Amino acid sequence: MSLWVGDVAGIDLNAMAGSTLIETLGIEVVELRDDALVARMPVDHRTVQPAGVLHGGASVALAETLASWAGYLAVDRERFHVVGQEINANHIRPVFSGWVTATATPAAIGRRSQVWEVRIIDEAGKLACISRCTLAVIEQRSSYAAAAERSSG
């Protein structure tokens, strides 16, 4: 049984990334499973720190992006929206190049809050970062949209 609410097949999360930090960092959703959402991010000039390794902030941005998208898919989007409330991350090992892949799975899905675990692995499948993100579920139609559909003010 899927944890997603309603028909999610037609939702293009990658199209919503245009003109955002998500696009700038090169984050892209690669898989929607019944029980998880998966995305990847390049380890390149946009996402490394001066020492040449994946920046911890880029990992956190990937984790919060993925948790927020997962939370968005797990609510009735006509009635609710999700917003980040708290995030933590443990950076386990450095990544120097290639891609990292993140998988978001629910730790708790409630009526007013959600908690998502996001595991980020390197191309060898080794854990690079583990994060937990808490989302608040607010009673407001979701405002996620592609760049052309967003209001400018």
- Active-site positions read 64
Determine contact, residues 25/40, Cβ cutoff 8 Å. Answer: no
**Closest to 79 in 3D by CA, of 104, 112, 107, 105:** 112
Determine contact, residues 70/135, Cβ cutoff 8 Å. Answer: no
The whole-angstrom separation of Cα 130 and Cα 120 is 6
Q: Is 73 helix (H, G, I), strand (E, B) or coil?
A: helix
The whole-angstrom separation of Cα 112 and Cα 54 is 33
